[in-house]
Structure 1
Amino acid sequence: MIVVVLTSIKTRQETFRNPLGLPEGGIDFTNYVSIFEEQTMAGYFVNSTIVTLFSVTFTLLFASMIAYGITRLNNWLGNVIFGLFTLGMMVPAQVSMVPLYSLMLNLGLTNSLLGLILVNIAVTLPIAVFILTGFMKTLPKELYEASTIDGAGNWKIFTKIVIPLSLPSLSATAIFLFVMHWNDLLYPLLFITDNAYKTLPLALLEFQGQYSTNYPMLFTGVVIASAPMVIAYIFLQRFFVAGMTAGAVKG
């Protein structure tokens, strides 16, 4: 990480002369200015932000409702539904590339942020359901029974009781999904060819040529792409730790 940051504030000549050393001419933020002015990095950043926020939001929304439904069923049907989502985690992304591309092409959703968002939701929904179902199963059944006796319906129980109690697990899942979607290269590479819809990981490939690579600009892009994840983890790490340990010990 130190090498990446140091390289981002060097020139190409300094990088090749002394790859692991400090900048010879002092700290220079020219690469950061150039990457936004010349490489339209701001547009790529906005695209990644849109795709990630919508993907994480709707994945959590659908996964939490599915997990709640599976928990409330608590019978063979719930186990079958949970098993189907678990099977979805076992299918490698490479296996579904060709049929998925064919489907998106027929729907006219290639080269669009909407298509990328829908694919992200479908691909990460199984893992989100798996995590949230495991947590919701630890919630006491007495809560559901008491709420039902008080006249609360499923929607009220879900929004007023289950969601507030599941916030640590939802936060941990959100961070996990955020990292997956923000760093995703496979699906943007598969579905996006128009520069207007490229995301940050895909845009970083522009700095790699057939015969040479602009390492200072590439590492500058890496620093910019990594910054939101580092900031998010710093401010949300307590939720992440709480979510990973929630339900591990039952009183």
Structure 2
Amino acid sequence: MPATTATTVTVSRGVLLVGYALLILLPVSLVLTGSFKTTPELFDSPFGLPDSLSLDNYRTVLGEQAMSTALRNSALVTAGGVTLTLALAILAAYGIARIPGWRGWAIHGFLVLGMAVPAQANMIPQYVLFDQLGLLNSLVGLVLIETVVCLPVAVFILAGFMRTLPPELYEASALDGAGPWRTLQSVVLPLSLPSVAATAIFLVVIQWNDLLYPLLFIQTPEKRTLPLALLDFQGEFLTNYPLLFTGVLVASTPLVVAYVFLQRYFVAGLTAGSVRG
């Protein structure tokens, strides 16, 4: 590639990245600065700095019993949903990777087909089924529905990685006398940890931020999750944007902190299956 063309490509890429960064930073800066403002301040100068770094909005949000309860419910539902989804996805992906020929691919395709079905298409039958099972307005019901909805994505990621593991690993494990369960524990799972970590982070983000199913299944305030509780700051005729922005930041902080500390596992997991050894 000529030097001039390479320079043009580099400059164009830089301009696109700067434009994308600004596109992300503008709403983030609006939410961050707005969380320290009053409603009149926000409307007078949406992107300006606040007159003072008042923490009144944070005291209001964190001091509300409803928000504390919602934060606890979100933590319980996310922890239970991610754990159950990973457990089932690991077993399914391992089985798919061990089944030879077209049968493995057929089972893989059938499970992943769930990704193509819009969530809205299943809302009515899911609601009726959970009503008949007595799982409406229940955190257990939320854990189960989050697991069912996220399972195809988790299987897709994990099966894609486990299929790249050399067959010689399974043969060597069998020669050592290990059965399928022992092979999964001692060979496959340790090698799949980067992919499992990446899948776990992905599931945490999806389930922590989910609003659709809590809005559909939860009926009482004490069972609400954090995204559902944030709707309290939005009324029919008036929205308290400073409190809403503060609640969004409080809800996002655990995810940002988790990603900062686990980003190397996330990147390693996404690239682990891209090249075969």
TM-score range, shorter chain: over 0.9
* Pairing partner for 1:32 from 38, 49, 58: 58
SS in 2 for 1:89: helix
What is the correspondence of 1:120-159 to structure 2 with a 5 Å cutoff?
120-159=146-185
**Corresponding residue number in structure 2 for 1:19:** 46
**Corresponding residue number in structure 1 for 2:17:** none
Is 1:68 the counterpart of 2:94? The answer is: yes
* Pairing partner for 2:209 from 173, 180, 183: 183
What is the TM-score normalised by the length of structure 1?
A: 0.97
- 1:155 aligned partner, one-letter code: W
SS in 1 for 2:164: coil
Quick check: 2:233–2:243 contact (8 Å CA) kept in 1? yes
**Corresponding residue number in structure 1 for 2:195:** 169
**Corresponding residue number in structure 2 for 1:94:** 120
The 2-side partners of 1:38 and 1:161 are apart by 48
SS in 2 for 1:138: coil
Relative to structure 1, the CA distance from residue 39 to residue 220 in structure 2 (aligned partners, 3 Å threshold; closer, same or farther) is: farther
The 1-side partners of 2:97 and 2:64 are apart by 52
5+ residue gaps, structure 1: none
What is the TM-score normalised by the length of structure 2?
A: 0.88
Quick check: 2:29–2:47 contact (8 Å CA) kept in 1? no
Q: How far 1:153 sits from its partner (Å)? A: 1.0
Q: How far 1:14 sits from its partner (Å)? A: 1.5
**Corresponding residue number in structure 1 for 2:4:** none
Aligned-pair identity (%) = 56
What is the correspondence of 1:217-236 to structure 2 with a 5 Å cutoff?
217-236=243-262
Aligned residues: 250
**Corresponding residue number in structure 1 for 2:7:** none
The 2-side partners of 1:29 and 1:39 are apart by 18
- 1:16 aligned partner, one-letter code: F
Instruction: Return 188-197 or 14-23, whichever deviates more.
Output: 14-23
List per-residue Cα deviations over 1:82-117 (Å, max 9, x = no partner): 121121111110100000000001111010100000
The 2-side partners of 1:40 and 1:32 are apart by 14
List per-residue Cα deviations over 1:59-99 (Å, max 9, x = no partner): 01110011001111123332221121121111110100000
**Corresponding residue number in structure 1 for 2:265:** 239
Is 1:8 the counterpart of 2:35? The answer is: yes
Root-mean-square deviation over aligned CA pairs:
1.0
Is 1:79 the counterpart of 2:112? The answer is: no
- 1:151 aligned partner, one-letter code: G
| Structure with bigger gyration radius | 2
**Corresponding residue number in structure 1 for 2:13:** none
Is 1:103 the counterpart of 2:129? The answer is: yes
Q: How far 1:11 sits from its partner (Å)? A: 1.6
Q: How far 1:250 sits from its partner (Å)? A: 1.9
Q: Higher RCO, 1 or 2 (CA under 8 Å, sep at least 6)?
A: 1
**Corresponding residue number in structure 2 for 1:54:** 80
**Corresponding residue number in structure 1 for 2:224:** 198
